[in-house]
Amino acid sequence: MIDFFGKIFGNKDAQRNIDIKNIKESNINIVQIEKFDISNFINSPYQNVIIGSSLRKSSSSILINNISYRKNTIKNIMSNWGDKTWLNLYGGFDTGKTQLSLLLEKHLAFENVINYNFKELSKAEFQNIISLLFAQFLSGNINDSSQNINLKLIILDDLPEFGLDENVNTLFTQFITFCEENNIKVLSTSNYKIHSKITKTIISNFYELQIPLLTKEEIEEVIFTYKTEERLRSFSTIILAISTGYPIYVQIICRYLDSKEWNLTDENLAEFISGKSFDELDDETYQKLFSSTQDENSRELLYRLNIVLGAINNEIVELVSKINPIVEKPFEKIKNLNGTWLQKNNDDTYFISPLIKRLGSNNVLFETRKEINNSLAKSILAKNTISQYEGQRAMTYFLAGESFDDAGIIMTMGLQTYFTNPKLFLDSVFKSLWVKSELPNKMSLILKSSIRSLQLHIYIDSQIKNNNIYNEDDKDFVKCDLELILQGDLELIPKEILSISYLMLFRCYLQEDNVEKALFYICKLYTTALRSLDGFDESVKANFWTVLDKISDLKEIRIWFEAFDLIGKTEDYYDKGLIHLFSRRLVDNIVEKYEGDWDTVIKLLEYIIQESNLRKLELLNAYSCKTMFFIFGEKFKDISRATSFYKNVKNDFSNPEAIFVIQDEFGRQQFYSGDKENALTTLLEIENTNIISQTKVDTYITIAKIFGEKDKNLAHIYTKKAYDYAENKLQVTKLTLSKLRTEYAISFWFLGDYKASLYNLSDAYELLISGYEEIDRFDNINDFNITTLRIGAVINYIWQTVHFERMPQNYDGSPLPKPQRGVLSNSYDPTNLKEWYNDEKKYLNMYILVEMFEYYEDKSMAIKWSNYAFELNKKIIFYTQKHTLRTMLGYKIIQGLYQEAIELDSEIELFENSLNEGMVHEIESNLLKEAFLEKIKKGKRLDINDDYYYISNIIPIIIKELTELLSCKISILDCTSRIKEHLLRNSNLFRNKESLEHVNFILDNFPNNQTECKNLLNWFSDLENVESKESIQVILYLCCSINAPTRQALSMHLASMKYLEGLIRGLSSSIHLFVLYPFILKFWTSRVLEKPQDFYFLELWRRNLEKSTDVKNEFKVIAIIALICMHLRYLPSEAEEGWMAKYINYVRENN
């Protein structure tokens, strides 16, 4: 071993006498070689060793200006490093290891630091130097505590790969032990992981981390060191994508952008994204590569691996090596490259430094490069199943290998994932590739037309679904390119592909309302060459009549008839459902476009009737005649003209469905004009026509209206027919079904069956609520909102009739309008609707439905509608009705959602307290504004105190848990544990913590027998100045009653109910009816079974119990208590009798 230090300082004995602390700058211990004349050693193999100051004055060892201080990264590293002595940061070239070590040093803020840099040393040089260095530390003089008492951190920068020399390994282990004993941290950086031969002996005192590259947030921090403009933040995403977080790359990109004033023109954007703007980085990389990798074959292998996308495994190494010219012994070369330009992952794969990636693959021979790319693609496709990312890689390889048709096939596979797995498609490159640029020239027409047809299909579908894939400019580019492709040699395109291309162009132009071009392409579908294809008929059948949806003027009508003639099929050839739908759409379009100009409408309809007669298109003819009846009857108020026209045209029809269309409309016009008898005759004649059309629903409803005036039962039958027909025969919207179900509910009301009516209204409203969730751009939200109001009006009317047993009234006392048949099909004024409707109307319907099902004691339905109300609360702002949600909180408790109940209660309190007049500007409806301001004016809000939370939440939960205990569903421990957990979780809501302690004491000492009951009661009676005394006493009595003697239990219940029952009933019917009442009923029916000897007159028990449960909801709890008093021969006190007085009067009046 060459004695390097001996040559500098003299012999070893002299070296030991050197006092390091006397060689210092400021307070930093250093060994500064530049202070000595070493010119005699200029040829020394160690001249590159820098043992420098922690100030790092050299360009490679100081913090640069434009950096991120990486606070979160530093925090995470420090957390993981913890008390361990040694931290090693490893990673490839230019990953920022030295800069990160500087940041860690800055964070530690130690005054005394020694830094050693081992950059570009050979293994032999490193072993010699490290041996001498560590010998220094481990020598007697250096180890003297008086000399090193202030040393806190040693930095070993750019450690080479080592671990095979046992002497060095032993020295490292001893060195780390020395540092641990002297409370010195060791921070090292390296291209390599520390060898396991070293780490295994110090594993508990060692932490190793692959260098974390810059994150998006850290790149933003770097950007803001140049300019602190918020707009620059957006550059971080693209910088991260290009640099992958390599600090040197980030710096070069930022310097480039700064030179451009952080503005990119269209001209340099492409070069920026590709990275071509940063060629200076490549020159530096080549220099480092030639210096570190002198073997040409190793560089060749590296260049070949540069072609690979993603991680590199051994199979890929072997694959690229075997391509001519063959690279021999590739795994030996991989070993030499690992740690510098390659990094090995935990799964034994490798990744290449992005700096090498920038060099591209041009250093590989062109033909070799093509073969490698194609081989890589085929290796991916050799699997049975591939991910979208593998598909993207395979396509990229094929393109680079100039196998354009293979790439096209992958592209078509990727595009089809839009229909099979939309989420997967959205995350792939397939959605954006070739949508703004031409397809490769060398790709075949088959693949070109297939790709463009699929892309066009996707754009057509995405426009309908209104998702974020749709782009108008991209769709137009794809469409025009497909049309250009179809101007080529069509013999090269299979008929199946050609027909799909024409069909997509037809659909695209139809979506654009370009009727002429749409019909041009559907006629292309009908060329002789394509007629023989399987499925051709279905394409024409399914699409030709849809064009009528876009037609409204004479020119377009003529073109459509010409196309019909060109196709040459009769009406029977096409789907009747489509003919019905789009014939009606055509005449509706005409009426909508020329509304008011009825002469023009009539002329167009007469033309359609004339042309339809020539071609025997009876259904199109019928819908045109139907509209003529409508104009004559409703617009001209001239039923005689309608009758005359009907007589003139009725003999033109032989198709039963066409006859149905004209006779149905004529019959309804008779009804609207007041000629109900003839209308009924006309409509009944066609009732049994076998037709699948929504018109038949209107027929049934009109017949029901006519019968409604003389036979309610027949009217009910026809209303039911309308709903059943729509539900079972038609594919109608939930909105339509909701309206028809409401008609059916109203029919029940006319029959006097209020319960059936209300249950059907519930079903109708549920359909409507579900329909709201499925609204798309073709729906009119006003149709839903008016239906909400109309259903609500019917629900309210029937509910008031049932609940108050009087004629329903408005708030001002005026009578409410009675429900009417057909009310949901009436027209409405959108302006008035905007004033009358607000989203709280949705909630009010739900609120009434909950009350309705409470009236009928239907717990499951009440829970369902309360849950709808809770969900709506998450979606809208309740300006006037939020407080009413409190009445439903019991349903959260019933479902075991204790925490949700109390949190929602707190949410209501916060909202109610935040209300102020300034919020009125958020409200659109004037009526709602008035109601809101009136609410603010009244200013009455519930007094939320400890007793409120006991009554509304804690006691109901205790009652529910005790009911489950009585039902043997849970143990006492389960019961008390759940309650205590809930109390602990919400203790912050209670102002008086002592009262909570009392409740917990009761639960902890839950009485199992009479003695324990007595002890607990005595404990409570000894308490003084108890806050919330009544609430705690109720909890005590409820718990003690479980195992108390029967008469004492009754006394406890009477004492509790006097205070509790009225409060709960006033606060929440849900708690009163479905929590408190089930407990009382379960308690006393169980007690009668368990201890019959305590009761009298048991022969009357069953009959009396039935009578006591069959009372108004408000009396149910009192009725059971009164019943028990009788069977125990218990004489209530005056106060107890006062509590029961209203019930006693009720019984007397009803007996």
Using the 3D structure, point to which of 1044, 1076, 1097 is the last residue of a domain. 1044
- The answer to whether the bond into 212 is cis (omega within 30° of 0) is no
Q: Residue with structure tokens 């300006």?
A: 879
Neighbouring residues of 378: CB distance < 8 A, sequence distance ≥ 6 = none
- Contact (CB, 8 A) for 695 and 664: yes
Specify the higher pLDDT residue, 108 or 505: 505
**Environment class of 14 (CB within 10 Å of its CB; exposed 0-12, middle 13-18, buried 19+):** exposed
The string of pLDDT tens digits covering residues 421-446 is: 888 788 777 888 898 889 999 999 99
How far apart CA 908 and CA 906 sit, in angstroms, is 5
The string of pLDDT tens digits covering residues 126-176 is: 777 777 777 777 765 444 444 445 778 989 888 888 777 888 888 888 888
Using the 3D structure, point to which of 809, 837, 865 is the last residue of a domain. 837
- Cβ atoms < 10 Å from Cβ of 550: 20
**Same structural domain, 40 and 147:** yes
Count CA within 13 A, CB hemisphere, residue 427: 8
* 393, pLDDT greater than 90: no
Using the 3D structure, point to which of 212, 247, 264 is the last residue of a domain. 212
Give the chain's mean pLDDT: 84
- Contact (CB, 8 A) for 163 and 195: yes
User: Is 1113 among the domain residues?
Assistant: yes
- Cβ atoms < 10 Å from Cβ of 973: 9
* 238, pLDDT greater than 90: no
Position 1124 scores a pLDDT of 96
How far apart CA 810 and CA 816 sit, in angstroms, is 6
User: Is 314 among the domain residues?
Assistant: no
- Contact (CB, 8 A) for 951 and 1030: no
How far apart CA 782 and CA 1091 sit, in angstroms, is 63
At residue 340 the predicted structure's pLDDT band, cuts being 50, 70 and 90, is low
How far apart CA 1115 and CA 1142 sit, in angstroms, is 9
Containing 440, the helix (H) or strand (E) segment is none
Count CA within 13 A, CB hemisphere, residue 28: 17
The percentage of residues in the chain with a pLDDT greater than 70, rounded to a whole number, is 87
Determine the residue type at 175.
Answer: F
Instruction: Give the pairing of strands 342-344 and 206-210.
Output: unpaired
**Same structural domain, 36 and 103:** yes
With b for 16 or more beta-carbon neighbours within 10 A and e for fewer, the 720-729 pattern comes to bbbbebbeee
Distance, CA of 277 to chain centre: 39
Radius of gyration of the chain (CA): 43
Lowest mean pLDDT among 9-13, 237-241, 264-268: 9-13
Lowest mean pLDDT among 162-171, 180-189, 841-850, 1102-1111: 162-171
Going 308 to 309 to 310 to 315, the CA torsion angle's sign is: negative
Tokens at residue 256, please?
Answer: 């480039």
Long-range contacts of 321-325 (CB under 8 A, 24+ apart): 323/368, 323/371, 323/372, 323/375, 324/368, 324/371, 325/365, 325/368
Position 58 scores a pLDDT of 33
User: Is 735 among the domain residues?
Assistant: yes
| The length of the chain, given as a count of residues | 1151
DSSP string, 448-470: HHHHHHHHHHHHHHHHHHT-TT-
**Same structural domain, 880 and 904:** yes
User: Is 1111 among the domain residues?
Assistant: yes
**Same structural domain, 29 and 168:** yes
The string of pLDDT tens digits covering residues 668-688 is: 999 999 999 999 999 999 999
Neighbouring residues of 278: CB distance < 8 A, sequence distance ≥ 6 = 249, 252, 253, 256, 358
How far apart CA 158 and CA 151 sit, in angstroms, is 21
**Same structural domain, 808 and 856:** no
**Same structural domain, 731 and 827:** yes
The string of pLDDT tens digits covering residues 1127-1143 is: 999 999 998 999 999 99
* 478, pLDDT greater than 80: yes
User: Is 804 among the domain residues?
Assistant: yes
Tell me the C-alpha to C-alpha distance, in Å, between residue 533 and each of 325, 448, 478, 495, 768.
Answer: 50, 21, 25, 8, 44
* 17, pLDDT greater than 70: no
DSSP string, 276-298: GGGHHHHHHHHHHHHHH---HHH
The string of pLDDT tens digits covering residues 343-360 is: 666 666 776 766 666 666
Tokens at residue 741, please?
Answer: 């179900």
Q: Where are the alpha helices (DSSP H) in 85-207?
A: 97-108, 123-138, 145-148, 166-181, 196-199
DSSP string, 615-670: HT-HHHHHHHHHHHHHIIIIIS--HHHHHHHHHHHGGG---HHHHHHHHHHHHHHH
**Same structural domain, 812 and 888:** no
At residue 109 the predicted structure's pLDDT band, cuts being 50, 70 and 90, is confident
The string of pLDDT tens digits covering residues 1077-1094 is: 999 999 999 999 999 999
Q: What angle do CA 158, 162, 164 make, to 5 degrees?
A: 175
How far apart CA 940 and CA 935 sit, in angstroms, is 8
**Same structural domain, 746 and 860:** no
Position 535 scores a pLDDT of 54
User: Is 631 among the domain residues?
Assistant: no
**Same structural domain, 811 and 952:** no
* 1005, pLDDT greater than 90: yes
Q: Where are the alpha helices (DSSP H) in 915-971?
A: 926-938, 946-949, 955-966
Q: What angle do CA 992, 997, 998 make, to 5 degrees?
A: 100
Beta bridge partners, 157, equal 117
User: Is 585 among the domain residues?
Assistant: no
* 43, pLDDT greater than 90: no
Containing 742, the helix (H) or strand (E) segment is helix 734-751
- Cβ atoms < 10 Å from Cβ of 926: 11
- Contact (CB, 8 A) for 1112 and 1149: no
How far apart CA 97 and CA 191 sit, in angstroms, is 9
Position 26 scores a pLDDT of 28
With b for 16 or more beta-carbon neighbours within 10 A and e for fewer, the 590-618 pattern comes to bbeebeeeeeebbebbeebbebbeeeebb
**Same structural domain, 65 and 158:** yes
Q: Residue with structure tokens 């991989």?
A: 334
The string of pLDDT tens digits covering residues 556-604 is: 999 999 999 988 889 998 989 899 999 999 999 999 999 999 999 999 9
Number of domains present in the structure of the chain: 5
Q: Where are the alpha helices (DSSP H) in 224-363?
A: 235-243, 247-259, 266-274, 279-292, 296-305, 314-322, 330-337, 354-357
- Contact (CB, 8 A) for 328 and 297: yes
Position 272 scores a pLDDT of 65
Determine the residue type at 210.
Answer: Q
Question: What is the CATH classification number for the domain harbouring 77?
Answer: 3.40.50.300
**Same structural domain, 784 and 922:** no
Strand spans (E) along 436-512: none
DSSP string, 747-801: HHHHHT-HHHHHHHHHHHHHHHHHHHTT--TTS-HHHHHHHHHHHHHHHHHHHHH
Going 423 to 424 to 426 to 427, the CA torsion angle's sign is: positive
* 187, pLDDT greater than 90: yes
User: Which three-class secondary structure state does DSSP give residue 1005?
Assistant: coil
3-state secondary structure 351-374: EECHHHHCCCCCCCCHHHHHHHHH
How far apart CA 50 and CA 119 sit, in angstroms, is 8
711 φ/ψ angles, rounded to the nearest 5 degrees: -150, 95
Domain interval for residue 992: 945-1044
Tell me the C-alpha to C-alpha distance, in Å, between residue 517 and each of 449, 452, 509, 981.
Answer: 19, 18, 6, 71
Lowest mean pLDDT among 436-440, 611-615, 824-828: 824-828
Specify the higher pLDDT residue, 540 or 620: 620
User: Is 22 among the domain residues?
Assistant: yes
How far apart CA 1118 and CA 1081 sit, in angstroms, is 11
At residue 807 the predicted structure's pLDDT band, cuts being 50, 70 and 90, is confident
**Same structural domain, 858 and 908:** yes
Angle between helices 955-966 and 972-985 in degrees, nearest 10:
160
